[in-house]
Structure 1
Amino acid sequence: MHASLFHLLPTNTATLSTNPEKRTRRRLGLSEFDDNGEKQTDPRAVTARGGGGGGGGEEQRPWGSQEPFLMQDSRTVLRTDAGAMRVLRSIGGRIIQKPMHIGFIQMEPRSLLIPQYLDSSLLLFDRRGEARLGFICKDELATRDLKPGDVFWIPAGTAFYLENLEEGQRLQIITSIDPSESLGLGLFQSFFIGGGTYPRTVLGGFDPDVLSTALNTSREVVREMLSRQQQGPIVYLTEAAPSVWTKFLQSKEQDRLNHLKRMVEFNRELKKEGKKAAAWSWRKMLSSVFGEENKKKDDCDDSYNLYNKPHDFENRYGWSIALQGSEYNPLKHSGTGVYLVNLTAGSMMAPHVNPTATEYGIVLRGSGRIQIVTPNGSLALDAKVNEGDVFCVPRYFAFCQIASRTGPFEFFGFTTSARENRPQFLVGAHSILHEFLGPQLAAGFGLSEQALRQIIDNQREGVILPTPEVAPPEPMEEQGEDKPKVMMVV
């Protein structure tokens, strides 16, 4: 979520691990850092079978390998005393409908992610803690208080800040990162509105005389303004020694608005003086904030709480929720959907296909098993997953999720379409097999219609099924594997 946050400049590269093995771990680890701030390694291996031709036996692949359906390229893009952020790079290839990075932000109590704007859109999900989000909408400063379960969209180019309001609670945010509007300078790029020596504000690159003229102040004042901030993109807000950002949040709303808008006003001053702007235009980058796109007051949307949404499907074995653009208008603009699934111990989300979207999933609680099947009918992935694991299922690929027998399995995620997805279930009541049951389907299997009916009618449940026989017997931690938690539920 910020300039050197996502694509660190050379002055900030100390915060980014140069160890390629650590960077390719797929575990997130905001709560997996050791005492030195480094991510702990994970010696486990995942069993993956199948492949291109449908042949091949079982093969042990280390977690760090480039398993195509498990997002593994994990990078610590930001770490300060007040917080950290890790990002998983989207997997590539032609089978991925829409690349999407997944970010995890953790902020200590009473901390601030300082004002900035990005070249990529964010869809925030408040996993834990309460936060205050400030952002510019229609030339006005708007604020939203976020609580666990809230979803909020920040378009590319929108100036914002994020504050952890809690005194004794860490804030944990999961966010999708859509790079479709990015400048192509790396994962994505953020531009700090405020800053000093670390991080550097976008104003700091201009000639001191130009900047002092635009701000109508002396060079000494400008030099002081651009050299005080040294705490990084996430800073503590303390009463004892208030920082410049503590003072910012304590200032009047109009003063905060003026500060966030000063950059755009400065760009206008440059044009009046005939100065050439950079190759990119600040005004264009902030068009969603200051331009003609926001003409209605109701463009300043509220958040949507996913936990308060009625379950779209529910039976004895679990429930599921899907949030689409028809229910939360910002999703129409983002082109991204959101979902949440909870499976009881030993149950399964029946094998199904997403016909309109690629699915990105993050395990929030418990452990389970993910199976993904290739178009030629071979098993592409059969993996046990725990909290913090992230998987990607390309559009059209058949897959299922299975909870372990010892507890619930909960996962949240994003889809690459804000339209109603209508997953097509392959087995179970009201599935494709059930609806196609007849001589044509029987001929396809080489069975008599009666024999096929006896097989299909055995399953009376639909969507979420009881499956104790194939569920993992126990979480991996109980099998003697010392694996730290990520995004832990307290």
Structure 2
Amino acid sequence: MEFNLAPQMADQTVYEGEGGGYYTWSTSVAPFLAQANLAAGKLVLQPFGFALPHYADSKKIGYVLQGCCVVGMISPDSTAEKVVKVTKGDAIPVELGAVSWWYNDGDSDVVIVFLGETSDSNTAGPFNYYFLAGALGMLGGFSADFLAGGFGISVSESKTLFKSQNATVITKLKEKPNITNPANNNRKDLVFNLENALPPVTSKNGGALVSATAENFPLLSRVNLSGNLVKLEPGSMLTPGYTADSSYEIGYVVSGSARIQIVGLNGQLALDDKLEAGHVFVLPKFFVGSLIADTEGMEFVSTVTSSEPKLLRLAGVESVWKALSPSVLQASLNLSSEDTDIFKDKIVETAAIILSKKH
């Protein structure tokens, strides 16, 4: 499969109006998303903005980039609603078919980016949403007599009940509902904060990498996804690595910029480009990718299409080169025994994130 991997900004406005907006990446500008069954969307909620209850034919992780809001979630295997307050740094998985709503009860805008997998979607491309209420509501498509019979109400009542909400995706509430102080006991089940978690990978003056997997966040095993937060200091590098379990990685640049290189089949350079804030990018399965942050540094979040991803590094202390015996390493690279020893020693000294020599 041939990929056009050029990073892209969101190009489609699904909704924008009173209460907020929702934006996506179309397959026309980002065909690699459809090829890999991936999608991305960005939700912006203004104060009192309320994203109407909906479900989707996809699974994803929402990353809270700014502000805080209240989220209601009903799992496909439960009839109980769980309500949780999410804030900057939180990652909240959304299961396939789960019903959710999102409400900004704060005084500033909320920004949430969703990155996920769409192999179960009815159509390739952006996430497909099915709304329970509003002008796009699924029940609004039924005739009044069907609704009356299904809900045990009169035909006239059904016309009023399912036609009174004219909003489509987002509406702005006139007053705060009584859901602004949800109990925190749902957080451990629904939310993983990437900002406050202990980074498994750190580098002095280089940056940090935090991962949420099924091992430290069990809910991810249900959506078969995992999440990452990577922070690179100015000039630091995320060393070359790849997914060894046929999973894809889709990332969103939160801030800063970096140079990205991706190498694919036959050692061919598949991408050499600049990543900037707002860009979505993809690392195809088994391709090798690496980043070098620019002078202002860089931060990105990413979703991997596996709950227990196998990410292997070709450089750094976890490099597969380190595992090779000296004789195999020497023969593979056509090195002298002395150069082979030096190379092995250098690998041991470096981490997955390293500071550029010029810094």
> What TM-score bracket applies, with the shorter chain setting the length?
0.7 to 0.9
Evaluate the alpha carbon distance shift between residue 327 and residue 375 of structure 1 in structure 2; reply closer, same or farther with a 3 A threshold.
Answer: same
Q: Is the 8 A contact 2:24 2:40 kept in 1?
A: yes
Match among 79, 84, 87 for residue 147 of structure 1: 87
- Following superposition, the deviation at residue 330 of structure 1 comes to 1.4
- Following superposition, the deviation at residue 221 of structure 1 comes to 3.1
Match among 329, 333, 341 for residue 445 of structure 1: 333
Residue deviations 1:311-355 (CA, integer Å, cap 9, x gap): 101121221111111211111111111011111111111222221
Structure 1 match to 2:22: 85
- Letter of the 1:88 counterpart: W
Structure 2 match to 1:479: none
TM (normalized to structure 2)?
0.85
Q: Which has the higher strand share?
A: 2
Q: Is the 8 A contact 1:428 1:456 kept in 2?
A: no
Evaluate the alpha carbon distance shift between residue 190 and residue 389 of structure 1 in structure 2; reply closer, same or farther with a 3 A threshold.
Answer: closer
Q: Is the 8 A contact 2:233 2:297 kept in 1?
A: yes
Q: Separation in 2 of the partners of 1:339 and 1:129?
A: 19
Tell me whether 1:166 sits opposite 2:106 in the alignment: yes
Evaluate the alpha carbon distance shift between residue 132 and residue 456 of structure 1 in structure 2; reply closer, same or farther with a 3 A threshold.
Answer: same
- Following superposition, the deviation at residue 370 of structure 1 comes to 0.6
Match among 308, 312, 318 for residue 200 of structure 2: 312
Q: Separation in 2 of the partners of 1:79 and 1:95?
A: 24
| Equivalent position SS for 2:60 | strand
Equivalent pairs counted in the alignment come to 345
Tell me whether 1:125 sits opposite 2:14 in the alignment: no
- Letter of the 1:449 counterpart: S
- Following superposition, the deviation at residue 132 of structure 1 comes to 0.9
| Equivalent position SS for 2:47 | coil
Structure 1, gaps ≥5 residues long: 1-51, 53-65, 240-245, 252-297, 472-490
- Letter of the 1:102 counterpart: A
Q: Separation in 1 of the partners of 2:323 and 2:22?
A: 47
Q: Is the 8 A contact 2:249 2:283 kept in 1?
A: yes
Tell me whether 1:180 sits opposite 2:119 in the alignment: yes
Residue deviations 1:60-117 (CA, integer Å, cap 9, x gap): xxxxxx8335356742222222211122257667996x52201111111111001122
Q: Separation in 2 of the partners of 1:113 and 1:140?
A: 19
Tell me whether 1:385 sits opposite 2:325 in the alignment: no
Q: Is the 8 A contact 2:140 2:163 kept in 1?
A: no
Q: Is the 8 A contact 1:69 1:393 kept in 2?
A: no
- Following superposition, the deviation at residue 431 of structure 1 comes to 2.5
Structure 2 match to 1:99: 37
Structure 2 match to 1:68: 5
Structure 2 match to 1:326: 215
Structure 1 match to 2:72: 134
Residue deviations 1:17-36 (CA, integer Å, cap 9, x gap): xxxxxxxxxxxxxxxxxxxx
- Letter of the 2:74 counterpart: I
| Equivalent position SS for 1:314 | strand
Residue deviations 1:171-201 (CA, integer Å, cap 9, x gap): 1111123323333386443222222xxx232
| Equivalent position SS for 2:330 | helix
Residue deviations 1:130-182 (CA, integer Å, cap 9, x gap): 11111235322221111112222222222221101112x11111112332333
User: Superposition pairs for residues 190-229 of structure 1, below 5 Å?
Assistant: 190-195=129-134, 199-229=135-165
| Equivalent position SS for 2:81 | strand
**Identity of paired residues, percent?**
25
Structure 2, gaps ≥5 residues long: 180-185
| Equivalent position SS for 1:220 | helix
